[in-house]
Amino acid sequence: MLLIILALITLFFCLDLGRYLTLESLKANRDSLLRFYAAHRSATILGFILVYVLQTALSLPGATVLSLAAGAVFGAIQATIYVNIGATLGATVAFLLARYLLRDPLQRRFETRLERINSELEKAGFNYLLFLRLVPIFPFFLINLAAGMTTMPLRTFFWGTLIGIIPGSFVYCNAGASLAAINRIGEIASPRALGSFVLLGLFAIVPAFYKKLKRKKRVSG
């Protein structure tokens, strides 16, 4: 399995498929994508979701451009739904690959150090994951792999990802719906939008810290 994954990643870079996942390429091919979507609606939707799943599962670059493309072709609301489905399924695949290929050796080697992390995740794993999904501190793919190497339940990871990526997905899909106005990808996430994500993330993490504080008081009391 690991060899297949490495082969697919190598193939992506050897064929230079990343050249299609740029803002310039998207703008140049938007009309062609719209024509194809008009003629093959179901195939376009399913094909897009499959591509997003593969991109996310293999931790390849290009997620931002794919989200912009979805917004440009499907419109902001529909695109957010399709991106959310593809990203969540892809992240879940990456999570499972990390869990079954990497977790056991890591747990054996760093059992003592990981014991505290696993204990915290058992108590408030959903809150921590929701915070990480809402606040773009760490790369998306890194969270997928790191979570897979802990004892976080699959259902917690799935629902935390599904819910946590909705705001970010909408921002990029909505921007894609107005593709002509975008000159650089960096200008999409404004300080105001990032501040909103941080605020949402704080709402997600506060309950976990509150419960932790109560436990400490109970133990000290």
Residue 118 is predicted with a pLDDT of 74
Q: Which among 66, 83, 78, 61 is positioned nearest to 25, based on CA atoms?
A: 66
Contact 56, 87 (CB under 8 A): yes
What is the reported pLDDT for 72? 93
Considering the entire predicted model, what is its pTM? 0.84
Give the pLDDT score at 47. 96
Model confidence pLDDT, tens digit, residues 114-131: 677 777 777 778 888 998
Domain boundaries, the chain: 19-220
User: What is the per-residue pLDDT for 219?
Assistant: 60
Structure tokens at 197: 């994500």
Mean pLDDT per segment of 10 residues, for the chain of length 221 residues? Answer: 86 87 90 95 96 94 92 94 97 92 71 70 83 86 88 93 92 86 72 70 71 65 57
